Chains A and B, each alone.
Chain A
Amino acid sequence: MIEILDPATDWLRIESLLDSATGIRLVSAWEAALPELASLDLPHLSPGSADAKASLDEYFRTVWTEANIEAASRYVFFPWRGTIVRLPDADLFWRLRTARNRYLIDEGEQREWSAALIGITGLSVGASVLAASSLTGARRFRLAERDTLGPTNLNRLAGSVCDFGEPKLTLAMRRTLEADPYSDLEAFPAGYAPEVADAFIGTGDAERLSVLVEEMDDLALKVDIRFKARAAHVPVVMVTDNGDNAILDVERFDLDSGYPLFHGLAGDLAASPADLNDPIQRVNIASAIVGSQITPRTRFSLTQVGRTLPSWPQLGTAATVGGALGALAARYIACGVPLPSGRYRVDLDEILLGARAHEASRWNELDEAEFLAGLKAVYGA
């Protein structure tokens, strides 16, 4: 998608791209990067003092000569932007990009997180997980998504009306590469399918995923990839919207190869495979997995799916908090922080409203009993 060019070896290509006839714009990152590098290299200086000024003068004179800057530069060409960026090389850029993480994520953790190979299937909420993971320093991803961007995605997915019709995968990769061009991205543009399981999860010659973030809508594929991940001892993280809240499910197949899919909430899917193509069965299993401990409005909305709503309703707040939650869970697993299998909830409404968050008093809210009764009436659940 991008070209990373070394001026020592790729000068002809750089010159041809920078030819004025191409219309390609050159952006230099160094003007912004040099003061920040100085503050990282000399964090102890007293701002405004004469010795700080003398120290910085010495620093820029000895460390960042024009020759040194050029040697430490890479020219990164972003075709969709028509732009070349003269950027600090991978090591320097990495140092800058993770500088504000220091101590919050220690050096060893940062190395492990950046070396981890994170697989993400489904780039709706998955795009939020990808963004938060990349922001915190993850830089190796396998991404699977076949859908394209449409107007209804824009309530939860950072996107642009200029990109309608573009593959979500392409857009996610562009965003990731624009923030960290040295990211290592492997694309599965047809999305996840059983045929690509070996390549995606890494059960053949391909490197095995450190963590799988599963955010697909298709229940049959959700089940299939879990069977494959469990067989390959790959841990699975899933974030589910719940109104403005998010639910995190962690399945540590790396620690327990017998751990039941979806914590066993959907029954033993291996022993008695459900007909996941049957819409009633699908709803029943999905309801069993999600449970009834969801917000009153989510309960109401779920009863409307297929009637007045085309699909599971989602909010940008939930996608955002879910992205952070999924990324943190993936980082904990990649960095060896003990994070057991189980379900975890982040209930923002309860934090802000207390017990009132659970009250079902408006027309679009259902309490748990009403919800379960409704499901039973409609789906026989």
Chain B
Amino acid sequence: MAPSPHNNQPWVARAAPDGMILRLDHQLLPLLGPDRVQFIALGAFIENMSIAAAVDGYRLTVDELPTVPRRTSEITVRFRDGAKPSGHAAIMLEGAKRRRTNRGRYESILPSGVTEQLRAVPCEPATSLTLISGAADRSAASDLAARAMHVLFSVPELRRDLAPFVFTSADAPRRIGMPIESLNPAASTKVPGSQWALELASADEEAEAARARFEHAPLHFVVSSRTDTLPGWIAGGRTLQRVLVTATVLGLSHCLAAGPSEIPTLLPALRRLVDDCEGRPLILGRLGVPSFPEQAIAAPRRPIGDFLIGS
């Protein structure tokens, strides 16, 4: 389904007469943010709804969004009938259901034709997709992913933000978060995930692992938006989800790295990787055929009743 930071699935929805009203679930947000990635996740969630609606002949529209992102911002989506049920949408919906993050290594060769099909993914207005296939640029992107991972495990408050979202078999079952096997297959499953995140994970090792995984991936991508505002983030999330679902349909796995676009010292280098006129880089990702498909472990999903609230 929709990707989200640490798989926190930060959305809440309530029914409206001809659609839904969505907002961030405040209980699932980190204390300080960043909120950009949370709204990108909400955009991806909206895109999933759009795909599902299209299967049944409905067209999803998003009401005009406020420019200023606030945690309390409400987003109204409406379903317009009269569209023709779409076979392509059905394929995409199946892809959305199968979509899994795979943080393992990818094969260095891409199946033929997939780059062109990804390049043809229709982007939301005022957003763009940059595909990075050249070795030098991929090396630069890998360095950014490694440095972001190093920052994540070097800054205590970021580790504390991550800790509640990592779980192992030693933890009680979760409705959100990431199983440790999907993060680091070599990590012990006998200690609570929070202990791994807070005490055991090595910044150097995690950074080098991220570098290796990105370097082996044959294709990287960056989704950007023309503006760094709420409409830009929601639209960027929708474009991101189209790319991920299309990649899934094409038999590719993916893994995202938000750090390079969120860490101020890394952002300039990420900007240099994409053309400045593409706008604000929102997220970096890698695509490829997974070397170890079993590492695409299904993370828990909140049941609908958990995020669909009464009006």
Residues of A within 8 A of B (CB): 41-42, 44-46, 49-52, 54-55, 58-59, 62-63
B300 to nearest A CB, angstroms?
Answer: 30
Asked, given contacts A52-B228, A55-B228, A55-B232, whether A46 binds B280 with beta carbons under 8 Å apart, the answer is yes
Cα of A50 to Cα of B280 in the assembled complex, Å: 8
Tell yes or no: B205 within 8 A of A by CB.
no
Tell yes or no: B67 within 8 A of A by CB.
yes
- 20 A-B pairs within 8 Å (CB atoms) are namely A41-B67, A42-B228, A44-B36, A44-B228, A45-B228, A46-B228, A46-B280, A49-B276, A50-B276, A51-B224, A51-B227, A51-B228, A54-B279, A55-B67, A55-B228, A55-B229, A55-B232, A58-B229, A59-B68, A63-B66
Asked, given contacts A42-B68, A49-B271, A63-B67, whether A58 binds B280 with beta carbons under 8 Å apart, the answer is no
What sequence of 0s and 1s flags, for each residue 251-279 of chain B, a beta carbon within 8 Å of any chain A beta carbon?
A: 00000000000000001000100001101
By a CB distance below 8 angstroms, the chain A residues around B7 are none
A-B contact sample (20 more), CB < 8 A, given A42-B68, A46-B271: A41-B67, A41-B68, A44-B34, A44-B228, A45-B228, A46-B228, A49-B271, A50-B279, A51-B224, A51-B225, A51-B227, A51-B232, A51-B279, A52-B280, A54-B226, A54-B279, A55-B232, A58-B229, A63-B67, A63-B68
A181 to nearest B CB, angstroms?
Answer: 25
For B68, the closest partner residue in chain A by CB is: A41
For B225, the closest partner residue in chain A by CB is: A51
Cα of A166 to Cα of B280 in the assembled complex, Å: 57
By a CB distance below 8 angstroms, the chain B residues around A52 are 228, 280
Cα of A54 to Cα of B226 in the assembled complex, Å: 7
By a CB distance below 8 angstroms, the chain A residues around B267 are 46
In-complex Cβ contact of A42 among B226, B229, B276 (8 A): B229
Asked, given contacts A46-B280, A51-B280, whether A59 binds B228 with beta carbons under 8 Å apart, the answer is no
Contact: A51 with B226, CB < 8 Å?
yes
Contact: A55 with B34, CB < 8 Å?
no
In-complex Cβ contact of B229 among A46, A50, A59 (8 A): A59
Residue among B36, B232, B280 facing the most chain A CB atoms (10 A cut-off): B280
By a CB distance below 8 angstroms, the chain B residues around A46 are 228, 267, 271, 280
By a CB distance below 8 angstroms, the chain B residues around A50 are 276-277, 279
Asked, given contacts A44-B34, A44-B36, A63-B67, whether A58 binds B271 with beta carbons under 8 Å apart, the answer is no
- Pairs of residues from A and B, 7 with the lowest C-beta to C-beta distance, nearest first: A51-B280, A55-B227, A41-B68, A51-B279, A54-B227, A55-B228, A62-B67
Cα of A42 to Cα of B34 in the assembled complex, Å: 12
Interface residues on B, range: 10 to 19
For A103, the closest partner residue in chain B by CB is: B32
Cα of A50 to Cα of B271 in the assembled complex, Å: 11
Contact: A58 with B67, CB < 8 Å?
yes
SS of A interface (majority)? helix
By a CB distance below 8 angstroms, the chain A residues around B271 are 46, 49
Cα of A73 to Cα of B67 in the assembled complex, Å: 21
By a CB distance below 8 angstroms, the chain B residues around A59 are 67-68, 229
For A37, the closest partner residue in chain B by CB is: B68
Cα of A49 to Cα of B227 in the assembled complex, Å: 10
Asked, given contacts A42-B228, A58-B229, whether A49 binds B68 with beta carbons under 8 Å apart, the answer is no
- B206-255 at interface with A (beta carbon < 8 Å): 224-229, 231-232
A150 to nearest B CB, angstroms?
Answer: 50
For A57, the closest partner residue in chain B by CB is: B227
B29 to nearest A CB, angstroms?
Answer: 15
Asked, given contacts A50-B276, A63-B68, whether A58 binds B34 with beta carbons under 8 Å apart, the answer is no
Cα of A58 to Cα of B67 in the assembled complex, Å: 7
Cα of A55 to Cα of B228 in the assembled complex, Å: 6
By a CB distance below 8 angstroms, the chain A residues around B229 are 42, 55, 58-59
For A45, the closest partner residue in chain B by CB is: B228
B288 to nearest A CB, angstroms?
Answer: 29
Cα of A52 to Cα of B225 in the assembled complex, Å: 11
By a CB distance below 8 angstroms, the chain B residues around A62 are 66-67
Cα of A45 to Cα of B264 in the assembled complex, Å: 10
- B109-154 at interface with A (beta carbon < 8 Å): none
Cα of A62 to Cα of B231 in the assembled complex, Å: 12
By a CB distance below 8 angstroms, the chain A residues around B226 are 51, 54
Cα of A49 to Cα of B276 in the assembled complex, Å: 8
Cα of A62 to Cα of B227 in the assembled complex, Å: 13
For A59, the closest partner residue in chain B by CB is: B67
Cα of A62 to Cα of B232 in the assembled complex, Å: 14
B253 to nearest A CB, angstroms?
Answer: 29
For A60, the closest partner residue in chain B by CB is: B67
Cα of A63 to Cα of B70 in the assembled complex, Å: 14
Cα of A46 to Cα of B276 in the assembled complex, Å: 12
What sequence of 0s and 1s flags, for each residue 66-101 of chain B, a beta carbon within 8 Å of any chain A beta carbon?
A: 111000000000000000000000000000000000
By a CB distance below 8 angstroms, the chain B residues around A41 are 67-68
Cα of A355 to Cα of B261 in the assembled complex, Å: 53
A352 to nearest B CB, angstroms?
Answer: 35
By a CB distance below 8 angstroms, the chain A residues around B228 are 42, 44-46, 51-52, 55
A17 to nearest B CB, angstroms?
Answer: 33
For B282, the closest partner residue in chain A by CB is: A51
Contact: A58 with B227, CB < 8 Å?
yes
Cα of A45 to Cα of B280 in the assembled complex, Å: 9
Cα of A44 to Cα of B35 in the assembled complex, Å: 10
Cα of A50 to Cα of B232 in the assembled complex, Å: 14
Cα of A41 to Cα of B267 in the assembled complex, Å: 20
Cα of A45 to Cα of B227 in the assembled complex, Å: 9
Residue among B66, B226, B229, B279 facing the most chain A CB atoms (10 A cut-off): B229
A171 to nearest B CB, angstroms?
Answer: 39
A365 to nearest B CB, angstroms?
Answer: 49
By a CB distance below 8 angstroms, the chain B residues around A58 are 67, 227, 229, 231
By a CB distance below 8 angstroms, the chain A residues around B67 are 41, 55, 58-59, 62-63
Cα of A63 to Cα of B279 in the assembled complex, Å: 21
A190 to nearest B CB, angstroms?
Answer: 48
For B64, the closest partner residue in chain A by CB is: A62
By a CB distance below 8 angstroms, the chain A residues around B231 are 58
Cα of A55 to Cα of B225 in the assembled complex, Å: 10
B231 to nearest A CB, angstroms?
Answer: 8
